[in-house]
Amino acid sequence: MRVEDREKQWRLLMLSANGGDAAAYRNLLLELTPALRAFARRGVARAGAALADAEDIVQETLLAVHLKRQTWDEEAPLSPWLFAIARHKLIDALRRRGRRIELSIDDFAESLPSAEAGSDSIVSDVKRHLEGLPPGQRKVVSCIAVEGVSIDEAASRLSMTNGAVRVALHRGLAALAAKFRSVES
């Protein structure tokens, strides 16, 4: 798929997602992930960091894309916004790991994602941060994440109200993103 088509498709999905279409949003995240993964891997390789770190950076970037999605201007193209976030998170992560590099978005924005195997391996950061969340948030986030259930389903499984699950999920994700940030080494 050409870069322009990709952009058009992402934009449409994001617009539907902002209009409340949850399936479109899920699709978008699944579509973005390989591109973000290619971006993170190239950045990590350039900085001479361990390739295993790339997936942590992808997850951190996905969280940031989600929690900051209101900052995308619907009139503007999606890719520059997306890769600005990816670049910010990549540099931040590398800096925390004690490396300083300069990256230009132009190096990456045109690169098409490569579908690679082994990309979904279990990684450490999110798992560790998840364990540091308050029990309520942790239960809700892991139930929905690992079992892949909906909010309603999670509410009945955990015998919580729908609203409580919704709030715990949002707070849990925000807390996860904050935990990534607070790791200073």
Partner 1 sequence: MKTSELINAISEDREMPLAPGRALCLALLPGLAIAIALFSARLGLRPHFMSLLADPRFSLKLLVCYLLAALAGLFVLRLFRPGGSWRGAVLLLALPPALLGVGVIVELFVVSPADWERTMIGHNAMFCLKSIPLLGVAPLIAILVALRNGAPERPAVAGAGAGLFAGAIGAALYASHCPDDSPLFVAVWYPIAIAFLTALGAVLGARLLRW
Question: Any contact of residue 15 with partner 1 (CB under 8 A)?
Answer: no
Q: Single out the residue of 68, 112, 156, 162 in contact with partner 1 (rule: CB under 8 A).
A: 68
- Closer CB to partner 1, 51 or 76, in the complex: 76
Using DSSP's 3-state secondary structure scheme, residue 36 falls into helix
DSSP code at position 121: -
Stretch 115-144: interaction string toward partner 1, x if CB under 8 A: ----xxxxx--xx--x----------xx-x
Instruction: Write the CB contacts of 36 (distance below 8 Å, at least 6 apart in sequence).
Output: 58, 61, 62, 82, 86
Stretch 79-118: interaction string toward partner 1, x if CB under 8 A: -xxxxxx--x----------------x-------------
What is the Cα–Cα distance from 121 to 45, expressed in whole angstroms?
18
CB of 112: closest distance to partner 1 in angstroms? Answer: 19
What is the Cα–Cα distance from 94 to 182, expressed in whole angstroms?
14
Q: Which of 104, 80, 71 shows the shortest CA–CA distance to 90?
A: 104
CB of 148: closest distance to partner 1 in angstroms? Answer: 5
Buried-state track 110-137, b at ≥16 Cβ within 10 A, e below 16: eeebeeeeeeeeebebbeebbeebeebb
Question: Any contact of residue 35 with partner 1 (CB under 8 A)?
Answer: no
Q: Which of 176, 184, 64, 183 shows the shortest CA–CA distance to 131?
A: 176
Q: Single out the residue of 11, 46, 99, 170 in contact with partner 1 (rule: CB under 8 A).
A: 170
Q: Please give the residue ranges that form the binding site for partner 1 (CB under 8 A).
A: 18, 20, 22, 25-26, 29-30, 33, 37, 55, 58-59, 62-64, 66-73, 76, 80-85, 88, 105, 119-123, 126-127, 130, 141-142, 144-146, 148, 150-151, 154, 166-167, 169-170, 172-173, 177, 181
